[in-house]
Amino acid sequence: MFAGLVRMLGWLPDRLAFAFADLMVPVFVFVTWIGRKRATRHRRGFHYNVRVVFRDRLDARQRRALLWRWARYMTHFAVELVKMGEVNATNLHRFVDIPEESLARVRALVAQGKGLIALTGHIGAYEYSAHLVQVLGFSITSVFRESPIRPVTDVINTIRGTGGQVMTERRGAVREMMRALRAGEMMGLLADVSSKESLVFTPFLGTPAATNTTFGLLHLKTGAPIVVATIERLRPRRFAFHIWEVIEHAPTDDRHADLVAIATRVNQALSKAIQARPEQWFWDARRFRTRPDGEQIGADGLPPQTAPEQVPTLHHA
């Protein structure tokens, strides 16, 4: 059924496909609303994350407005995902704005021969990231997390593979990532995924969040530079590539301090990207689920906010 829906959306003209997506927006909002209590118990979901990030800055009208904008973004992005294979080297300019200076910067970093650690988050058209890199002529190995329903993973990976990217499951992916970097290639990773095992907590959208240290360890071990970039959605099937940060950290004798410094810069960069388009972040994430030992929870039941300057402003709420 899922594969059939994907094929149907892929065959439909854009106007009809996006009209169908608009019909799904109320369904998306309703499902998010009725599941809010269960999601909050598990420290995840739209309503919990909005409370963690915005605290008392939003009134009920603003929260509803953000929910509807996010729902519309997600349903439209689903259409754009199934049509991703249509984007190729010949027609790329029709779909993605890529500043020449940004592309030149990426080429210069790759030319160093150390490989390149390409990081993004569940922001904007994140599924397009590795596809775009491959279409531009680079080689990339991207890490993915499989769905609990294996056939769903297979369908999505078929779409992801249309550009020729190499995909590896998150479990046991370090070996493949090292292979790519040693070959002078790119490795791609979503950096806003909560890590149960991480001992590194740095502010993400203002609140400390457990941050995966894999990219930091690879950076310190190989010297491969880190690029934090996103693909912002401008309008239906039109995107813009943006580099938020380039990290070339000089290692010290304190490995933990190095990892904290790298993670801090990555989280700051991703927070800036979300500040630019708050409705384009995946608000159903488990970003704030894992908490540090000994943390003092506030009277509102939320973890402390340590970097309020990272909180987005909702200009159009």
pTM: 0.93
Residue 148's pLDDT is: 67
d(CA 80, CA 82): 6
Give the chain's largest Cα–Cα span: 58
Dihedral sign computed on CA atoms, order 99, 103, 108, 109: positive
Look at residue 150 and tell me if it is in a domain: yes
H, E, C per residue of the chain: CHHHHHHHHHHCCHHHHHHHHHHHHHHHHHHHHHCHHHHHHCCCCHHHHHHHHHCCCCCHHHHHHHHHHHHHHHHHHHHHHHCHHHCCCCCHHHHEECCHHHHHHHHHHHCCCCCEEEEECCEECCCHHHHHHHHCCCCEEEEECCCCCHHHHHHHHHHHHHHCCEEEECCCCHHHHHHHHHCCCEEEEECCCCCCCCCCEEEECCEEEECCCHHHHHHHHHCCCEEEEEEEEEECCEEEEEEEEEECCCCCCCHHHHHHHHHHHHHHHHHHHHHHCHHHECCCCCCCCCCCCCCCCCCCCCCCCCCHHHCCCCCCC
Give 16-48 pLDDT, tens digit per residue. 999 999 999 999 999 999 999 999 889 999 999
Residue with tokens 């690029």: 227
Any domain includes 5: no
Residues of the chain with pLDDT under 50: 317
pLDDT at site 17: 95
**pLDDT recorded at residue 147:** 66
State which residues form the domain around 289: 88-310
β-bridge pairing 96-97 and 238-247 = parallel
Strands 186-190 and 166-169: unpaired
Cα 156 vs. chain centroid, distance in angstroms?
Answer: 16
Contact in structure between 219 and 249 (CB atoms under 8 Å): yes
SS3 9: helix
For residue 194, being part of any structural domain is answered with yes
Number of domains in the chain: 1
Helix (H) or strand (E) holding 232: strand 226-235
Decide if 226 contacts 186 (C-beta within 8 A): no
pLDDT value at position 317?
42
Cα 61 → chain centroid: 27
Q: Is residue 77 part of a domain?
A: no
Residue 8: predicted pLDDT: 87
152 lies in some domain: yes
pLDDT on residue 306: 95
Separation in Å, CA 114 to CA 40, 107, 182, 265, 304: 42, 12, 7, 20, 39
Per the domain annotation, does 289 fall within a domain? yes
* CA 250 – CA 269 distance, rounded (Å): 19
**Is residue 58 included in any domain, yes or no?**
no
- Determine, yes or no, domain membership for 196: yes
Dist CA 184 CA 191 (whole Å):
21
> What pLDDT is stored for residue 315 in this prediction?
66
Tokens found for residue 189: 């990773």
